């Protein structure tokens, strides 16, 4: 148990549809991250939050991607007008340290998206 | 800037040693190492902060050369359970953001 629950675990959608993924951290934490991972590659940074504030968003993230974290608890990642290139594993991670280095990341099991 | 990992893949016999390298062109604040098994989430191994320290637990250790912006992960007397893909993650200037390399696939055979 990594302390991070992600839903749905698998999502198959048709190109052009919108999808939303949810991340529920089980334990208290400081920062929440979203990464994307494609086959044979390392996790790719998308965005991160400290409490409710979205502090950084990757330039690789197009306007079709949006993330929210209302009330500093769970987070959602929405992809609008999905494209086949969006097919990937979407990973949510949390960290605990308040200062200095970001601290170790605890990843959830991920949400796998397949766009047909 | 994505760090560069080498080698891309390693095949070992149980009990053999391996070294995985990670290098960056940017000044680094910290280097993280993670292991990911097939179908699972990445799992944290260790973190090294700038200062050139070396860390380790059990038979896995790592070093960080701050001047060269390089880190190495050392796996000694490898076990079957060490199989998986190893990622280094680099953090620039206490940015709280980790950028991961493309990984090194390690297979340990009996």
Which chain A residue shows the shortest CA-CA distance from B39? A109
pLDDT at position B58 over 80: no
Residue range B80-89, pLDDT digits in tens: 999 999 999 9
**Per-residue pLDDT tens digits for A61-111:** 778 999 999 877 899 999 999 999 999 999 999 987 655 555 788 999 999
How confident is the model at residue B42, as a pLDDT?
94
- For the ranges A45-49, B10-14, B65-69, the lowest mean pLDDT is seen at B65-69
Contact residues, chain A, for B30 at CB < 8 Å: 101-102
Please give the pLDDT value at position A27.
74
Q: For the sheet containing B70-75, what is the strand order?
A: B4-6, B18-23, B70-75, B60-65, B54-57
Supply the mean pLDDT for chain A.
89
Tell me how far CA of residue A18 lies from CA of A6, A29, A95, B26, B67, in angstroms.
Answer: 18, 29, 28, 37, 46
Share of chain B above pLDDT 70, in %: 95
Q: Determine, for residues A104 and B44 on separate chains, whether the beta-carbon distance falls below 8 Å.
A: yes
Residue B90: alpha-carbon gap to chain centroid: 10
C-alpha closest to that of A112 among A81, A83, A84, A91: A91
Is the CB of residue A67 less than 8 Å from the CB of residue A55? no
A104 CA to chain B: closest CA distance, Å?
Answer: 6
Asked if residue A12 has pLDDT above 90, the reply is yes
The Cα–Cα gap between B93 and A102 comes to: 10
pLDDT one-digit tens code per residue, B25-36: 998 888 999 999
């Amino acid at each position: 148990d990594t302390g991070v629950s992600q839903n749905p675990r698998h999502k198959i959608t048709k190109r052009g549809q919108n999808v939303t993924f949810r991340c529920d951290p089980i334990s208290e934490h400081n920062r929440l991250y979203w990464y994307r991972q494609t086959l044979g590659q390392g996790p790719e940074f998308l965005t991160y939050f400290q409490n409710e504030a979205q502090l950084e968003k990757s330039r690789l993230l197009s306007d079709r991607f949006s993330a929210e974290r209302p009330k500093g608890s769970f987070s959602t990642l929405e992809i609008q007008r999905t494209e086949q290139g969006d097919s990937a594993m979407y990973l949510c991670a949390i960290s605990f340290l308040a200062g200095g280095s970001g601290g170790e990341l605890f990843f959830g099991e991920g949400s796998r998206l397949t766009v047909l | 800037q994505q760090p560069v990992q080498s080698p891309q893949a390693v095949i070992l016999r149980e009990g053999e040693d391996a070294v995985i390298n990670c290098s960056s062109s940017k000044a680094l604040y910290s280097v993280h190492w993670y292991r990911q098994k097939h179908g699972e989430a990445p799992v944290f191994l260790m973190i090294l902060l700038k200062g050139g320290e070396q860390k380790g637990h059990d038979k896995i250790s790592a070093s960080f050369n701050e001047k060269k912006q390089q880190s190495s992960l050392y796996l000694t007397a490898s076990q079957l359970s060490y199989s998986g893909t190893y990622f280094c993650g680099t953090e620039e200037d206490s940015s709280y953001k980790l950028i991961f390399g493309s990984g090194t696939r390690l297979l340990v055979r009996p």
